[in-house]
Chains A and B, each alone.
Chain A
């Protein structure tokens, strides 16, 4: 038996092993020189203290592997009976077994040996883990950064988008304002052109006549002939004076930068003007009616002075250029067109030949009816006053039927 034990001890060298009985007493071990091959339980406790494995995990005495005191312990019961049975079955031989022990083999791999075996692996694993963690952290950091950057980018993009939208709205507003200004400038330009034309034609005329007269006087010797020129000079100076007055009136309209606006009740204004004309109408003994259809709107924010002048000119023209063969009238009619206030002023008077005069209806000193005195100023002033407040006027007319003006405020 001792020989077998010694054999065991030699073979298993790498780790420590113990052969133990159910009471954890060491039967033999490579760590002890003594083999307890026999039942010694009844012997003294001193032995058992020294030859007992005081390892908690072994107590249940069943196959197990666990760590305790820094070493790895493995317990495997020796089932000799099973071994014997297989031997018998294989070889047909029978052994005589005297004592069937309940021993177990315990293998202890100490912490040093564990370290030797697994330490490197563990360190490598730790290093691998370490780098893995660092790599993960770096990747995570990269991801987070890119996500943050993207988020920041989105925020910036959104801010840019917002500012662009605001800019767009501002631009659109600017555009509208520029268009309005442009339109005003175009009207202004036309007015200036008109003014230039009036001056070059109507002022240059009398002035050149004067220079002709002066030349004649210089050459003329006969006092009588010179004297005959004097009334002409007088007439020229009066013409120039009248023209200056008319131009002054026009310039006043053009020059007015801040025109006082107020809300005007149209029917009341028309009534007031109508009353001013009553005497003229009565003198004539003719029938003339001022009619208004102001259901859609009847108040307007405008210059009261201008609007009064405009209505006076319309009514005055309608009376002056009426037809004798019909009951004459003038109609004021309010409308909304494209959300804008529109006023129609229609009469059933003589009408204007649009083919001849279409281009010059609103021009200064243009007259369209012979034998009816007129300065050719009324419609010119109406247009100028309306344009000064951004209103537009257009006209339709038929000879023998009447004239219709459309004012878009």
Chain B
């Protein structure tokens, strides 16, 4: 069985720690990697595409990050998308409750979902069920 591969992109180290811990509590079969800004994440995806390495199935993306924020990541991702073999589902996970951000998010068809922090175990299960229903 294929191991679930999740990428976390967030500059909040504690959030990364806690989300990793939650995911590991759900299943040890989940591989979790992380980057602290959008630029690193996009560079990683570029490298993986060129090397034909395994890409994450799910990306949990923060909005407010240094160097390249969530919106910037999505714009770059749009350019890369045609070259991707497998579908990557991107969920926006933000601490922002601003309507402005929610509306802006709707303009990106690359986005599968939108969550406001704190992201709970139930939220994560929801996401995982959606994605791996067919596989599991």
Contacts and interface: CB of A to CB of B under 8 A. Distances in A.
Nearest to A374: B66
A235 B14 contact: yes
A205 B18 contact: no
Interface size class of B (residues with CB under 8 A): 20 to 34
A232 B18 contact: yes
A376 interface: yes
B81 interface: no
Contacts of B18: 209, 212-213, 216, 232
Contact of A204 (B13, B21, B95): B95
A201 B96 contact: yes
Nearest to A235: B14
Interface stretch (B49-57, B67-75, B83-91, B127-135): B67-75
Contact of A201 (B13, B64, B68): B64
B95 A200 contact: yes
Nearest to A236: B14
Given A206-B14, A208-B117, A235-B14, A197 B66 contact: no
Interface stretch (A47-55, A64-72, A363-371): A363-371
Contacts of B95: 200-202, 204-205, 208
A256 interface: no
A211 interface: yes
Interface residues of A, number: 27
B134 to A, nearest CB: 29
Most chain A beta-carbon contacts within 10 A, residue among B13, B67, B72: B67
Contacts of A200: 95-98
Contacts of B118: 208-209, 211-212
Interface string B92-104: 0011111000000
Given A209-B12, A216-B21, A232-B17, A197 B68 contact: no
A315 B18 CA distance: 39
B15 A204 contact: no
A205 B68 contact: no
A209 B98 contact: no
Interface of A: 196-197, 200-202, 204-206, 208-209, 211-213, 215-216, 232, 235-236, 239, 356, 360, 365-368, 370, 376
Nearest first, the 6 A-B pairs at minimum CB distance are A208-B118, A204-B95, A367-B66, A208-B117, A201-B64, A205-B95
